[in-house]
A and B are shown apart, each in its own frame.
Chain A
Amino acid sequence: MAKRTRSAALLPPVRRNDRPLFFVVAIIVALACMSGVAARAAWSASSAWTSDLSGAMTVEVRPRAGDDPSELARRAAEAVARTPGVAAATAMTRAEQEDLLAPWFGAEGLPADVPLPGVVDVRLERLAPATADEIAAALAAAGLDARVDDHGRWTRDLKRAAVAVRALAFGALLMLAGAAVAVTGFATRASLAARADVVEVLHLVGARDEFIAKAFTGRFIGLGVRAGILGAFLAALAAAGFWAVSGGLAPVEDNFLPRFSFAPADVIILASAPLVSAFVAAMTARETVLKELRRTY
């Protein structure tokens, strides 16, 4: 007589009934991954923007009649560069200013008689940056009438937008997790009802609730892993499609909007999806089975 070393599964396989649940969970995981990746991308972009803006200031020197703006800018740059906490201060030439204005006034540049202020691009020390007041004081001490822009209005708006995007993504993830729990709980109860005869026999021959729940949990872990892998794959496909459509292969240019790009965090989000999905499915199934057993027996 042939001997077997492994015991058979205590629950009968009903894969056909589990299939709709599998696809629903896979879709939920795909949506969760996409919202996670989108949140990460938005957060990275806003961090890069705020980092650029908060590490720099712009000084505008107002010329009086007869003053040469370029000369005023050069003097201002020298005064600012001596200020502690300033890494570099560069006076912008008229040509450089016209380049910056090109998107609004065209490549032809401004008419020669249109006056431009003297502008200084200031880069701050990363660890102990100078404040706008300190730079303004240095400019005043040099006898210059200048305005210092610390980009505060932009950085505040960007930070607010980044927080909003993160809250939105987190809310979406919470709702998707809630949907996953609800659908898994519903499926577990259906599964439990379909196998009520088996569960009753297990109960009557002395199985503890945890033993019965484990039989269901094992099945839902498998389902969660498989659905998680498919969901992560679908999300990766969608992200790759978006990346290609948004010009991911084109050379990088200085656009106002950030370019979508893959980051190591995205790999972590996608790779952890099957694990998280399995964990949520298993915990939901376990708690549902335990609750139903306590209610029924």
Chain B
Amino acid sequence: MVRLENVGLRYGRGPEILRDLTLKLEPGSFHFLTGPSGAGKTSLLRLLYLAHPPTRGLISLFGEDVTGAARRRKVDLRRKVGVVFQEFRLLDHVDVFENVSLPLRVAGRERWEYEEDVRELLTWVGLGERSHALPPTLSGGEKQRVAIARAVVGKPDILLADEPTGNVDPEMGRRLMRLFTELNRLGATVLIATHDPDLIRAVNAPALRLDDGQVTRLGKAAR
């Protein structure tokens, strides 16, 4: 499903953020990604959602080498990947409903096809009554829930999340994690970058530790 071989990444002429990184995530697996700040967790996720090409090495998604993939093909692959960005990246000028339904809309789906599903999802993440609110009027936790709903609304095959529960209370955090585990149960490969040890303990899933540009696979017991 996800395979990286000897991947290196540097931005411009800067130092190498990721070095000779080799990693394989099986289809339907659930992993946490941990490591100190600046270890390259966000950069690794950026590689996986095809926001940036690697400086060297090979990245394969769904058994397909994406490093040399055509532009249109990359869009097809990107549509199979849901992403929760650390800084949310919501569109401030459109409401919660429009933000959440964005991946469906850009994929060419008609509003009548997805409206009920989106409203149900908004209710699930506790934003049923806030669907017409604009992001600047939302709290940090509400924005995070909108970002998560947007990431999962298209039922992606791969879900990548960067600190997805950092701004919500523990109860909402557990509720959102159930959303991820449910998606995983339905077959999605999930990778969640987090600093939160409680979150890792709450889910019975292995962790990958990224340190100094390289990844170490930790067993469940090593968490």
Contact = CB atoms under 8 A, between A and B. Distances in A.
Interface string A179-213: 00000000000000000011011101111110100
B146 to A, nearest CB: 12
B91 A198 contact: yes
A206 B92 contact: no
B78 A211 contact: no
B106 A211 contact: yes
Contacts of A1: 119, 128, 131
A201 B91 contact: yes
Contacts of A10: 91, 94, 105
Contacts of A2: 132
A5 to B, nearest CB: 7
Interface string B153-181: 01000000000000000000000000000
B92 A12 contact: yes
A244 to B, nearest CB: 48
A7 B98 contact: yes
B49 A8 contact: no
B interface, how many residues as a size bin? 20 to 34
A8 B94 contact: yes
B95 to A, nearest CB: 7
Contacts of B106: 202, 205-208, 211
Interface in B51-80: 51, 71-72, 75, 78-79
Nearest to B79: A206
A261 to B, nearest CB: 51
B91 A206 contact: no
B205 interface: no
B102 A205 contact: yes
A208 B79 CA distance: 10
Contacts of A13: 93
Of B72, B105, B107, most buried by chain A (CB within 10 Å of CB) is: B105
A211 B79 CA distance: 14
A201 B79 CA distance: 13
A3 interface: yes
B75 A208 contact: yes
A294 interface: yes
A254 to B, nearest CB: 65
B111 interface: yes
B83 interface: yes
Interface in B74-122: 75, 78-79, 83, 85, 89-95, 98, 101-103, 105-107, 111-112, 115, 119
B93 A201 contact: no
Contacts of B92: 12
A206 B94 contact: no
B95 A8 contact: yes
B150 interface: yes
A38 to B, nearest CB: 44
A204 to B, nearest CB: 6
Contacts of B128: 1
A8 B89 contact: no
Given A8-B93, A204-B49, A206-B79, 5 more contacts: A5-B111, A5-B112, A197-B89, A201-B89, A205-B103
- Nearest 3 A/B pairs, CB to CB: A206-B79, A207-B106, A12-B93
Interface of B: 49, 51, 71-72, 75, 78-79, 83, 85, 89-95, 98, 101-103, 105-107, 111-112, 115, 119, 128, 131-132, 150, 154
Interface of A: 1-3, 5-10, 12-13, 197-198, 200-202, 204-209, 211, 294
20 contacts: A1-B128, A1-B131, A2-B132, A5-B111, A7-B101, A7-B111, A8-B95, A12-B91, A201-B91, A202-B102, A204-B78, A204-B83, A204-B85, A205-B83, A206-B75, A206-B78, A206-B79, A207-B75, A208-B75, A209-B71
